[in-house]
Chains A and B, each alone.
Chain A
Amino acid sequence: MSHHLLEFKDVRFRYPDGTEALKGVSFLITHGESVGIVGANGAGKSTLLLHMNGYLLPTSGSVTVGELPLRKETRPEFRRKVGVVFQNPDDQLFMPTVFDDVAFGPLNLGLPPDRVRERVNDALRQVGALALADKPPHHLSGGEKSAVAIATVISMEPDILVMDEPAASLDPKGRRSVIGLLNSFAHSKIVASHDLDLILDVCARCLVIRDGMIVADGPAPEILSDATLLAENNLELPLTLQGRAAREGTHR
């Protein structure tokens, strides 16, 4: 199962305006792992995610998935293996109907129509959105949009699923169902989020990124309970670990 490995080796990236957003990032994600990426605003999370499917190419260093190195000419292949769900579903869903949108990736992969239909139905069933197939995206609720956005990527059957803030701007019920959805996938998963409770629920491992560098990498429960580390990164303890009753007790 070596093709499910994702490796960053000393990746550096400088934007055209000179800002150095990644300053030597290295990590290895193995098959079936679920990894959370957390960090303050502007720490380099988005830049990191944009490297995972070759939207950006490293200025130096290397990104590989399985045995495939990320280069300009390997990008189409790379994108087939690593599926990225972007944060805003309105950017992710650009086709006139849900069905067309979920079929967009498989059709671009050149699959025959009946295979495409099969994949679309499978993907929509997995996210529980089969009934929405003929609806236009602008008539969906926020939670429905998020579910469909995930379906658009899993219909390509990627080896690794990458998500940027999968539950942002969802109501608690929508958020809970996205968490359930993520936990039902056997894929290798990478989730970037400020929602640390979500990371705690979904991910076994957690990376903390600050100033374009990985400053911590370890089991999620351990990292997310380290109040000092979190505070240094403009984060705070997940609500489930805060012990609200105990804290309120000190105020009285």
Chain B
Amino acid sequence: MSFETAYSGIGRLDRLSYRDTVIHRLDPRAKVVATMLFAVVVVSFPKYEVLSLLPFFLFPILIGALGDIPAGFIARKVVAVSPFAVFVGIFNPLFDPGVVAIAPGVSVSAGWISFASILVKFSLTISAALLLIATTSFPGICRGLRRLGIPALFVSQLLFLYRYLFVLIEEAIRVVRARDMRAFGKKGAGVRVFVRIVGTLFLRTVERAERIYGAMLARGFRGDVPSMRSEMFRPADAIFVLAAGGFFALCRFVPVPQMIGRLVGGLAG
């Protein structure tokens, strides 16, 4: 059942991209470039940095709000994939026991700070990537990548991944349903049956790929998937990229939270 809810989640992400907002109307290239910049800048922070990363949350929050994307939906998706990040960072507190003072009188091991840093970086980049898909649509991103000069072969692979993900998942749901129907609550004898199901799906996929290739050849395919959408890179797109880039640079090179802290401290004192 969890499989089917995961599927409806992907479908929802897909449908969100059909909305029409300021963010949705931006050129895919602008959004791809801004999101890539965002990821690079966020990842470039040293491993004990947490506080300086916080202003970056403004970017996904703003995109989500302007793009009319429900924040709860994106947050749930981020939590759903977070085990990967937790697994990557969970041993840091053990291997990095140096003690750091974070506030007067409070100190924790350096490992915990780097762990927190990993989690923050992860939430930032994943939510930005999800928002990119939710506001651009996957085919839009592919067109953007193609026009940014990414090789045709690579972009076609992504396009087919998107198109057939749904078909493959539906096929998998049918097979799993057939198994559950005859497993009588025993979950179909575990790993061995699971392996066979994966094998069956793989063979079906290969056969399908052959049929699709036949259909493509029948319509004159010669290596590049053609597109005739000519998106114009308008001034608004340029402004978006520049504003985003400027904001990232500001937050990267100027310690914004510390400055705010000093400002607040100054006012209080």
Contacts and interface: CB of A to CB of B under 8 A. Distances in A.
Interface of A: 50, 53, 55, 75-76, 79-80, 83-84, 86, 88, 90-92, 94-97, 100, 103-105, 107-109, 113, 116-117, 136-138, 152-153, 156
Tell me the interface secondary structure of chain A in the complex. helix
25 contacts: A50-B214, A53-B217, A53-B218, A55-B217, A76-B220, A79-B220, A86-B215, A88-B211, A90-B208, A91-B215, A92-B215, A94-B163, A96-B138, A96-B159, A96-B163, A104-B216, A104-B221, A105-B220, A108-B220, A108-B221, A108-B226, A109-B220, A138-B166, A152-B219, A153-B218
A108 B227 CA distance: 10
Contact of B215 (A94, A103, A116): A94
A83 B218 contact: yes
B218 A107 contact: no
A107 B226 CA distance: 6
Q: Which of B219, B222, B226 has the most CB of A within 10 A?
A: B219
A153 B138 CA distance: 25
B167 interface: yes
A92 B225 CA distance: 15
Q: Which 9 A-B pairs have the closest CB atoms?
A: A108-B220, A96-B139, A107-B226, A105-B219, A91-B211, A138-B166, A113-B228, A84-B218, A92-B215
Interface residues of B, number: 29
A138 B163 contact: yes
Nearest to A83: B218
B48 interface: no
A97 B167 CA distance: 15
B162 interface: yes
By CB atoms of chain A within 10 A, which of B137, B162, B218, B225 has the most? B218
B167 A86 contact: no
Interface of B: 14, 137-139, 142, 159-160, 162-164, 166-167, 208, 211-212, 214-222, 225-228, 230
Nearest to A137: B163
Contacts of A136: 14, 139
A9 to B, nearest CB: 22
A109 B219 CA distance: 8
Contacts of A105: 219-220
Nearest to A97: B139
B218 A55 contact: yes
Contacts of A109: 220
B219 A79 contact: yes
Nearest to A156: B219
B144 to A, nearest CB: 13
Contacts of B212: 91, 94
A91 B228 CA distance: 22
Q: Which of A50, A79, A117 has the most CB of B within 10 A?
A: A79
Contacts of B138: 96
Contacts of A76: 220
A103 B228 contact: yes
B207 to A, nearest CB: 10
A95 B138 CA distance: 12
Given A55-B218, A113-B230, 4 more contacts: A86-B218, A92-B215, A108-B221, A108-B222
Contact of B226 (A53, A80, A103): A103
